Structure 1
Amino acid sequence: MLYPMKWSSPGPSGWAMAAVVPIVLAVALGTAFAADSPLVGAWQLDPGQSSQAGLYLFTPRRYSMVLAGTDRPDIDMSKASADELRAIWGPLLANAGTYEVSGDLITIHPLVAKFPVVMKPGASEVYRFRIEGKTLTLKQVRNARGVAVDSAPTLKFVRAE
C-alpha cells in the first residue's frame, strides 16, 4: 500500500543541512583533487644552483621547506662565538605549515619557522611557481609582512620522488 506523502518546509535544521552538505562535498572533493596536484611530492634544490642545498616537501595540504648554505663553517658548537653561530644559522631557511594554490601562486601559512615573524598568526608568504616535467621553479612575490618582493631569486628544484 502506498501512503501519500505530505510535503512540509524543512525547517531551520533542514535548511542548515541543505547549506552544509554542498560545502562538505566541495571541501572533500577539493582535498581529493589536491592529491593529484603535480606539486605534491619531494623537491630537491638543483645541485647546480649556487652554494645551497634544499628540500621542499608538499603533501595535499601541508608543506615543509628547508634551504641552507653549503659553505657554512664546521665549528665546535660548544665553543662557538656569536659571529660563528650567525655564520651557521644565518644562511638557513626553515618553515612548515599549510598551503594553498591559486593559479600559478602558492600561499604558505607557516605553523613553525626559523624566524618568529614568519609564523605569527595570520602571516603568509606567496610564491610564483611553475612545473615543467620534473622541474619546479619558485620565486617569492610577497613576504610574511605582506611586502612585495621584487628581487627574490628564482629557485630551481628537481623532483626527488
Structure 2
Amino acid sequence: MPDTPQTGQAFYRIGEVASRLGIKESCVRYYRKVLYPILKPIKHNGKHFAYSQEDLQILRLFVALVRKDIGNLFEVKALLQKLLRECDNDPFKVEATHPEFFFMDTLGVREEGSAIVEEARREALELKRALDENIRRVGKLQIKVAALKQEVKRLRQRIKSANSVAQEILESVR
C-alpha cells in the first residue's frame, strides 16, 4: 500500500498511519478499538486493516485531542463524536469549525471550549453509567441462564428416567 481501490481513494497500512501521526502501531490498533464505530478501516486481503484518508483524519483529530489532555480516551471519543456531529460527520471540517481544540492554546480559547468539553465529559459519564448498568444486567442474566441450564439438565434426566420406567412397564405388560 498505498493501495488504490475502485473508488480511487488512497488507503494506508498501519505503519504508514502510525508514522504520519507520530504514534506507535500499537496505539493505532488500540485507538481503532476505542474509536469504534467512528473509525471503520476496511480489511485488506482479509488480514490487514486499510485506513482511508477519512480514517487518517479521524485518528489525527483524536490524537490531537488526546495530546490536549482534556480527559480519558472515552471522554475524548465522546468529544470527538460531538464535534463530528456538529460538522455533519465530516472529519475534514472539524479543525476549521473548532480551532479552539486544534490551533490555539490561549487561555481564553480553552475557556471557550471548556463548555463543550464538559458536555462531552457528561455524555461520556452517562454512557459509562449506562454501560455499567447493562454489564450488571448481563451478569444477572448470565446467572439466570446458568440456573435455567441446570434446570433443563435436571428435567432431561427426569424425562430419561421416566422413559426408562415407562419402557420397563410396557415390557412387563407384554
Sort the TM-score into its range (normalised by shorter chain).
under 0.3
RCO greater where, 1 or 2, for CA within 8 Å and sep 6 or more? 1
> Under a length normalisation based on structure 2, what TM-score does the superposition of the two structures give?
0.24
> Under a length normalisation based on structure 1, what TM-score does the superposition of the two structures give?
0.25
Larger radius of gyration: 2
